[in-house]
A and B are shown apart, each in its own frame.
Chain A
Amino acid sequence: MKNNIMPFFDRNFQDIFFSGIISVIGGIFAGAALAIYKDKIILIPGMLVLLPGFLELRGNISGTFASRLSSGLFLGIINPKKFNTRVIFGNLMASFFLVMIISVVLGVLATLFTYIILGEFTFKIIFLSIIAGILANAIEIPLTLITTFYLFRTGHDPNNIMGPFITTTGDITSILALLIAILII
């Protein structure tokens, strides 16, 4: 009986469980910020079109970045003691470039869909998406790099922890970045 139960509640389960709970708590704080500032954020026309994709962007770009780093670290192709390598530099450049392109696309899509629903063009949301995207990823990408390396060095499997970690920190940085971008614009 013990043998049947133990593999389920193994180290993997513990990692996924704790990172999952932390992820939800982080998400709730981000959601609370969204609720408090809903007049500033959600009431902007097209914001609900932009928001899911914008929140997801952190996971999609930093998540793949962390996954590639983990694979490279496990295979011994990336040295866990060196940040300044060609592979890492290439990954960083690609991530920033992808953020820029996708932020523009998300902004354009939000503008188009808002036009379809409300019949009005809101170009402001394109700039909002770009500025917030740059701000959020300026924090998120270096954070992903440092955390993946740290987890690997301390004997954890970054694959188990980085997903929830990225989406949680991503949600918080995304909402804050959106607020800052709204203030700037």
Chain B
Amino acid sequence: MNKIKALERQLEKLIKIKRHKYHPLIHKIHKEHKISRKTLLYIKEYGPHSNISKTIVRESIKILLFASILSSLGGFALEGLKSSFLTLLPLIILLPALNSMIGGYGIVLASKFSAMLHEGKIKQKWPINKELKILICQIFVVACFAAITGLAGALLFSYYLGYILTSAHILKLLVTVIISVISIVIILALIVVIVGWYTYKRNLDPNNFLIPITTSLADFINMIVLALLLLLLF
């Protein structure tokens, strides 16, 4: 009973500590009461004292602005090639699917890596463990399969819409999609590990940072890769 009261007192103290300040109390509660650091971060960040929406907006806004600028720059590259892009109906159909892939796998990787960090599965010195390696390989396999399925769907729709397909065209599109997917997975993995580790070490909630940074950077690089492939292959 005394232990619970002591914990309550410590938690009350904890929620009064400013967000950006790391306090030894976090370590003390974590050690004494075996409460995970993630739970303590949640109590500190989104506890009864805090304005939750303000905290989220404050933490997310800069990164979302950065993401918007980056995505627009990627779109800027495509807008410059609008005339050739518009003639490639299968690529127009594939664009949202590629965008979905980046977002979807980015969210899976980012949220899983955030969870690994908070659960203490990632060591302080080296941010990669076996679980993460398997996850990246799983995403790579699924992404390749999904991209080829997507291309088949895009070709079918294009054919249905009256687009004339040649074997050379199909091959070029296949090369474009495969190169895009390989670059997407590599970029996603690198960004998630580097940014996730960095934000966690700065005592911030990686959930608020990782997803926008990962998806926007990967999206931007994918747009540049697509624009380059459009210039080179078509």
Chain A residues with CB under 8 Å of chain B are: 7-8, 12-13, 16-17, 19-21, 23-28, 30-32, 34-36, 38, 42-43, 46, 48-53, 55-61, 63-64, 66-68, 70-72, 74-77, 86-87, 89-91, 93-95, 97-98, 101-102, 105-106, 109-110, 113-114, 116-117, 159-160, 162-168, 170-171, 175
Contacts and interface: CB of A to CB of B under 8 A. Distances in A.
Contacts of A19: 104
Contacts of B46: 72, 77, 87, 90
Contact of A24 (B39, B95, B146): B146
A16 B138 contact: yes
Contacts of A27: 94, 96-101, 150
B146 A21 contact: yes
Given A24-B147, A91-B53, A67 B111 contact: yes
Contacts of B233: none
Contact of B93 (A26, A35, A52, A58): A35
Contact of A117 (B80, B147, B153): B80
10 A-B pairs with least C-beta separation? A90-B52, A163-B107, A27-B97, A59-B103, A53-B71, A164-B104, A31-B93, A167-B103, A94-B56, A94-B53
Contacts of B98: 27
B103 A159 contact: no
B112 A46 contact: no
Contacts of B115: 71, 74, 159
B107 A113 contact: no
Contacts of A101: 61, 64
Contact of A164 (B68, B108, B137): B108
A165 B111 CA distance: 14
Contacts of A64: 60, 207-208, 211-212
B30 to A, nearest CB: 13
B173 to A, nearest CB: 13
Select the residue from A60, A160, A175 with max chain B CB neighbours within 10 A.
A60
B219 to A, nearest CB: 6
B149 interface: yes
Contacts of A90: 46, 51-53, 55-56
B65 A72 contact: no
Contacts of A87: 46, 52
User: Main secondary structure on chain A at its contact with chain B?
Assistant: helix
Given A12-B138, A77-B39, A63 B215 contact: yes
Contacts of B150: 24, 27-28
Contacts of A38: 86, 92
5 contacts: A25-B149, A31-B94, A68-B208, A90-B52, A97-B53
Contacts of A31: 92-97, 154, 157
B127 to A, nearest CB: 18
B108 A60 contact: no
Contact of B154 (A20, A28, A61, A110): A28
Nearest to A31: B93
A56 B216 contact: yes
A110 B74 CA distance: 11
Contacts of A58: 103
Contact of B52 (A20, A34, A75, A94): A94
Contacts of B68: 53, 57, 102, 105-106, 109
Given A16-B138, A20-B143, A72-B42, A164 B100 contact: yes
Nearest to B95: A31
Contacts of A102: 64-65, 68
Nearest to A69: B207
